[in-house]
């Protein structure tokens, strides 16, 4: 079936079954390889994209549910000011180890900062706990979110 | 440097040496500085002919550096990047001795060519210790050739010439860039590698500087880098379903029904005959199963829902974790199969001890869970196989593919892509040989991608194990006797991969009367190296039981460890036979560094005492600190964990981890080094808190949702410090992991008085 979807501000028409998850259309039909396949169950967050600004697991979002929504992927997030700041913070803090989860982390972090400009540690825990990092770069992800928010990046949680 | 996902358009992993040379030539005057340093297996180097002298026939040289006329420098990174940061840190070593301007350096993944580059694998934290010396010499040789070229050009003695940040400088004030000199330098007779003068580390300007991951700008913008991102024109997509029971075979399947599914192009039943692996035990060969090839991966994977297979489950179907636990208990009461070390007379010393302790420990199978599921993209044409793989072990994969497809080794080309996590899993090449076979059967390019369930159900698990300890103390609380009966696994008479116990396992040598003994149970589950193989399990049991000993002796656990490491109390055993990489030891010819030093152990323990405020902090009820030390992969790590246990539900909050490591004289890339240690500490805590694979009827009982990995809200603060000592630098992918698990368990004991002897930690036991 033919679907026209709006990705990073550009309409794309693809012919796929309606139950095809958005992730596979992005990756294999549109050759946007930034969104990653981790579990296919919505549990790891590697596939996170924004649908109308909301962080969404594209691996369990069927094409039939996408409609006219505005989809933003890691390839397009840098065009927003918040997205750009988050990407820069990721480099400044040197978050990345293997890097496989980081597109999803950046999408979740940007969605957080779009609604909450000065997140607390608790806010970060809540917004980011759906994104697994197998290399466990969590301390640096936390620091990078604070960096992007203009907050002190030291881990201020009480010990 | 650009990296594209279309290999035919020049993905960096696809750059062959031949192509690379021609590109260099096309740049017009840009020269490959021919580094003439074949690296022997023992890490030593010698001089052979130059690549520039014999273009295209350079079969016995290494080549790392290319300098272009615009003064940009391209450095080859020889081993796979799996998140350990090696693609940044190894080129830093070359750039330092080359005296390059780092801002002009580009880095490419080298092709697989062991004749040029020596060993090319990522495992055992070997990359740094194996390459530190040769790569310094590689950089220094290039610099020396540039100096010689300048001396000839200016007609001044070499002693009047220095270098700085990509420039050659003469005493008289003249200067030239490396780019201007490169073509002359390539014609210079290479220097004697043995007599090169290397930099004094105090003059380092690149090594020791924190440099962010070289590919991170591409990671954060979502550009294709990983195996799963590779696209080949005309590519089809495949899934491969194996028997849920290890070693099971396909008998039949509803092939026609699956072929009628949307998008499905082909269904292949694969029945390999006879043993299909390689003798190194790392490369499990092609297994029996059903391959589904479709126009899209989603369609191939979706067809699995309708797949009905009749399996011959085979003999492993009778094996279970519960059965192994019962059998281990039974074996623990019997004479061990093998005594691997005897110092003094442990039995007599135990009988005469003022105080004795006894404890049984166990740990489960563990799944690597690379976030990028196993995959490869393969093309088979004209009897040749080309493959793009996220592999830690490309050479082994190449050999396995050649053997399985019945083609010569040199008909197989392996391109290393970035790996979405390694942790030892990708030292095995099963996913590579599957992709190769399916591509051959399909006759078209094929990308094989495992789904998460397949990834969890078929891999090389960290082997579980059981330890039965006894210890004896004299009247002064001195540890005078120690025994362990370790019950692990074997496969037809050979210890299961990564399950062996070393005869030198601490406290061996440091206790007068000691016996280490082993028994094994026949296992059909594949096992293999997982980040700090062997050590990740043995650290937990030995360092936890030694904490029990300290408490029984009424001693401070940290001081107890320092006292234990004070002197060797038994004669050293004969050296252990060399082991292949990835199994916790070095293969033949791999440098093992200086022998273990108790003083270095004491050094990190003293430093972690100071950094963590050990014994000086007032902790609330329900909070405790634990300590452990472990030496693995040539690194010395002492770690302290502070943890709080909620009495109501027994839940554990890890408050903070202090890591102190001694990996020698130089921290090559501090930001990367700290990142490895932070991640390793959290990785260990994640294992201890919840990770377990249970075998039931010969198959994995868990699904992915039942396999909890640490998440953001569970991640404590980690403080890492390095103790700098005058030894050659060693690797950091692994050694920070092992001690964190016993440190956590010892902290829980300090907090609650309850001893954790089984992993993962059962919080039900901590309720009060």
ipTM of the complex: 0.99
Query: Which residues on chain A are in Cβ contact (under 8 Å) with B686?
Result: 136
Dist. CA B270–CA B327, nearest whole Å:
35
Inter-chain CB proximity B712 and A135 less than 8 Å:
no
Task: Kindly provide the residue ranges of all beta strands, DSSP E only, lying in chain A, ordered along the sequence.
Answer: 2-7, 10-15, 48-51, 54-57, 70-72
- pLDDT of amino acid A157: 87
What number of C-beta contacts closer than 8 Å exist between A and B?
A: 179
| pTM, two decimal places | 0.92
Dist. CA B251–CA B380, nearest whole Å:
27
Of A36, A46, A128, the CB nearest to B712: A128
B195-199, B359-363, B669-673 — which is least confidently predicted?
Answer: B195-199
- Res. B38: pLDDT tops 90: no
Inter-chain CB proximity B452 and A39 less than 8 Å:
yes
Query: Which residues on chain B are in Cβ contact (under 8 Å) with A16?
Result: 296, 298
Which residues have C-beta within 8 Å of that of residue B407, sequence separation ≥ 6? B383, B384, B385
Inter-chain CB proximity A46 and B713 less than 8 Å:
no
* Mean per-residue pLDDT, B677-690: 98
- pLDDT of amino acid B29: 36
Inter-chain CB proximity B704 and A96 less than 8 Å:
no
| Domains and their CATH numbers in chain B | 7-209 (3.30.365.10), 235-315+369-457 (3.30.365.10), 321-366+461-576+599-766 (3.30.365.10)
- Res. B752: pLDDT tops 60: yes
Inter-chain CB proximity A31 and B231 less than 8 Å:
yes
Inter-chain CB proximity A98 and B212 less than 8 Å:
no
Our CA angle for B85, B91, B95, nearest 5°, is 140
Query: Which residues on chain B are in Cβ contact (under 8 Å) with A95?
Result: 216
State how far residue B229 is from chain A, nearest Cα, in angstroms.
6
B507 cis-preceded (ω within 30 degrees of 0): yes
Inter-chain CB proximity B421 and A128 less than 8 Å:
no
Average per-residue pLDDT in chain B?
A: 89
- pLDDT of amino acid B550: 98
Query: Which residues on chain A are in Cβ contact (under 8 Å) with B84?
Result: 97
Asked if B598 and B510 touch (Cβ cutoff 8 Å), the reply is: yes
Of B219, B231, B715, the CB nearest to A96: B219
- pLDDT of amino acid B572: 56
Query: Which residues on chain A are in Cβ contact (under 8 Å) with B83?
Result: 96-100, 135
Burial track B479-494 (b if 16+ CB lie within 10 A, e otherwise):
bbbbbbbbbbbbbeee
For residue B750, the surrounding DSSP H or E stretch is: helix B740-752
Assign B108 to helix, strand or coil: strand
Q: Rounded to whole angstroms, what are the CA distances from B720 to B391, B413, B661?
A: 29, 41, 8
Q: Rounded to whole angstroms, what are the CA distances from B418 to B81, B109, B131, B724, B746?
A: 5, 9, 20, 31, 37
Inter-chain CB proximity A155 and B212 less than 8 Å:
no
Could you report the per-residue pLDDT of B201-241, keeping only the tens digit for each?
Answer: 999 999 999 999 999 999 999 999 999 999 999 999 999 99
Could you report the per-residue pLDDT of B515-566, keeping only the tens digit for each?
Answer: 999 999 999 999 999 999 999 999 999 999 999 999 999 999 999 999 999 9
Distance of CA B49 to the CA centre of its chain: 33
- What is the band of B277 on the pLDDT scale with cuts at 50, 70, 90? low
- pLDDT of amino acid B574: 53
Could you report the per-residue pLDDT of B118-163, keeping only the tens digit for each?
Answer: 899 999 999 999 999 999 999 999 999 999 999 999 999 999 999 9
| Domains and their CATH numbers in chain A | 2-76 (3.10.20.30), 77-148 (1.10.150.120)
Inter-chain CB proximity A99 and B418 less than 8 Å:
yes
Measured from the Cβ of residue B279, the count of other Cβ atoms closer than 10 Å reads 7
Which residues have C-beta within 8 Å of that of residue B93, sequence separation ≥ 6? B131, B132, B135, B136, B139, B207, B668
Query: Which residues on chain A are in Cβ contact (under 8 Å) with B299?
Result: 17
Query: Which residues on chain A are in Cβ contact (under 8 Å) with B656?
Result: 159
- Res. B54: pLDDT tops 80: no
- pLDDT of amino acid B279: 56
Q: Tell me the pLDDT of chain A (159 aa) as tens digits.
A: 999 999 999 999 999 999 999 999 999 999 999 999 999 999 999 999 999 999 999 999 999 999 999 999 999 999 999 999 999 999 999 999 999 999 999 999 999 999 999 999 999 999 999 999 999 999 999 999 999 999 999 888 888
Beta bridge partners of B33: B65
């Amino acid at each position: 079936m033919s679907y026209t979807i709006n990705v990073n501000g550009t309409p794309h028409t693809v012919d796929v079954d309606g139950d095809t998850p958005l992730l596979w259309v992005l990756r294999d039909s549109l050759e946007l390889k930034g969104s990653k396949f981790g579990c296919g169950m919505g549990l790891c967050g590697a596939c996170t994209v924004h649908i109308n600004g909301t962080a969404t697991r594209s691996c369990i979002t069927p094409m039939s549910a996408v409609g006219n929504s505005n989809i933003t992927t890691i390839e397009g997030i840098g065009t927003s000011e918040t997205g750009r700041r988050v990407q820069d913070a990721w480099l400044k803090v040197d978050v990345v180890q293997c890097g496989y989860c980081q597109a999803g982390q950046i999408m979740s972090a940007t969605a957080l900062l779009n609604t909450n400009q000065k997140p607390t540690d608790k806010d970060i825990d809540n917004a980011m706990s759906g994104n697994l990092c197998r290399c466990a770069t969590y301390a640096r992800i936390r620091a990078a979110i604070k960096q992007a928010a203009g907050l002190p990046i030291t881990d201020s949680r009480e010990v | 440097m650009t990296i594209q996902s279309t290999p035919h358009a020049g993905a960096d992993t696809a750059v062959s040496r031949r192509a690379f040379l021609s590109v260099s030539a096309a740049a017009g005057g840009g020269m490959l500085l021919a580094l003439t340093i074949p690296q022997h297996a023992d890490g030593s180097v010698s001089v052979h002919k130059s690549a520039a002298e014999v273009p295209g026939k350079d079969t016995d040289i290494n080549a790392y550096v290319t300098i272009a006329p615009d003064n940009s420098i391209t450095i080859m990174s020889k081993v796979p990047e799996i998140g350990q940061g090696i693609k940044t840190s190894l080129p830093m070593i070359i750039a330092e001795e080359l005296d390059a301007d780092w801002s002009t350096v580009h880095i490419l993944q080298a092709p697989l060519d062991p004749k040029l580059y020596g060993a090319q694998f990522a495992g055992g934290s070997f990359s740094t210790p194996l390459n530190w010396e040769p790569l310094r010499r590689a950089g220094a040789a290039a610099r020396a050739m540039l100096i010689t070229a300048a001396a000839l050009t200016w007609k001044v003695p070499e002693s009047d010439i220095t270098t700085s940040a990509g420039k050659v400088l003469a005493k008289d004030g003249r200067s030239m860039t490396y780019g201007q000199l490169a073509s002359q330098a390539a014609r210079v007779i290479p220097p004697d590698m043995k007599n090169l003068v290397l930099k004094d580390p105090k003059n380092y300007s690149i090594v020791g500087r924190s440099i962010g991951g070289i590919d991170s700008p591409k990671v954060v913008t979502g550009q294709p880098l990983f195996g799963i991102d590779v696209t080949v024109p005309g590519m089809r997509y495949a899934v491969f379903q194996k028997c849920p029971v290890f070693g099971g075979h396909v008998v039949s399947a509803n092939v026609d029904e699956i072929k009628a599914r949307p998008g499905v192009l082909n269904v292949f039943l694969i029945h390999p005959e006879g043993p299909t692996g390689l003798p190194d035990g790392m490369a499990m060969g092609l297994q029996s199963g059903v391959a589904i090839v479709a126009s899209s991966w989603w369609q191939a994977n979706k067809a699995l829902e309708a797949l009905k297979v009749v399996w011959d489950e085979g003999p492993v179907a009778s094996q279970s974790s519960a059965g192994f636990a019962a059998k281990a208990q039974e074996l623990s009461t019997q004479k061990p199969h093998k005594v691997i070390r005897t110092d003094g007379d442990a039995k007599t010393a135990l009988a005469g001890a003022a105080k004795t302790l006894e404890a049984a420990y166990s740990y489960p199978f563990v799944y690597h869970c690379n976030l990028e599921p196993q995959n490869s993209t393969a093309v088979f044409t004209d009897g040749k196989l080309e493959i793009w793989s996220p592999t830690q072990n490309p050479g082994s994969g190449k050999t396995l593919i050649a053997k399985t497809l019945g083609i010569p080794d040199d008909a197989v080309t392996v391109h290393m892509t970035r790996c979405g996590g390694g942790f030892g899993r990708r030292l095995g090449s099963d996913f590579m040989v599957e992709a190769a076979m399916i591509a051959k059967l399909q006759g078209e390019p094929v990308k094989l991608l495992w789904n998460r369930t397949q990834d969890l159900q078929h891999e090389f698990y960290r082997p579980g194990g059981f330890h039965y300890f006894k210890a004896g103390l004299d009247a002064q609380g001195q540890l005078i006797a120690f025994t362990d009966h370790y019950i692990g696994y074997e496969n037809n008479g050979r210890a299961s991969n990564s399950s062996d116990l070393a005869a030198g396992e601490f406290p061996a040598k440091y206790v007068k009367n000691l016996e280490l003994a082993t028994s094994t149970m026949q296992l059909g589950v594949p096992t293999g190296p997982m980040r700090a193989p062997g050590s990740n399990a043995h650290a937990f049991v030995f360092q936890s039981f030694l904490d029990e000993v300290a408490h029984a002796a009424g001693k401070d656990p940290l001081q107890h460890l320092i006292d234990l490491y004070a002197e060797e109390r038994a004669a050293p055993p004969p050296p252990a036979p060399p082991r292949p990489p990835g199994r916790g030891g070095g293969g033949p010819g791999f440098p093992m560094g200086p022998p273990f030093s108790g003083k270095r152990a004491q050094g990190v323990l003293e430093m972690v005492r100071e950094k963590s405020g050990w014994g000086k902090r007032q902790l609330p009820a329900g909070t405790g600190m634990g300590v452990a030390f472990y030496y693995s992969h040539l690194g010395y790590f002492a770690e302290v964990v502070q943890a709080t246990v909620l009495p109501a539900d027994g839940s554990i909050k890890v408050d903070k981890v202090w890591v102190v490591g001694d990996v020698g004289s130089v921290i090559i890339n501090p930001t990367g080094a700290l990142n490895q240690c932070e991640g390793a500490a959290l990785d260990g805590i994640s294992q201890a808190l919840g990770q377990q694979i249970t075998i039931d009827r010969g198959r994995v009982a868990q699904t992915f949702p039942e396999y909890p990995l640490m998440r953001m809200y569970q991640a404590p603060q980690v403080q890492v410090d390095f103790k700098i000592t005058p030894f050659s630098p060693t690797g950091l992918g692994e050694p920070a992991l092992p001690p964190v698990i016993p440190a956590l368990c010892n902290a829980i004991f300090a907090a609650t008085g309850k001893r954790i002897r089984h992993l993962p930690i059962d919080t039900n036991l901590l309720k009060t």
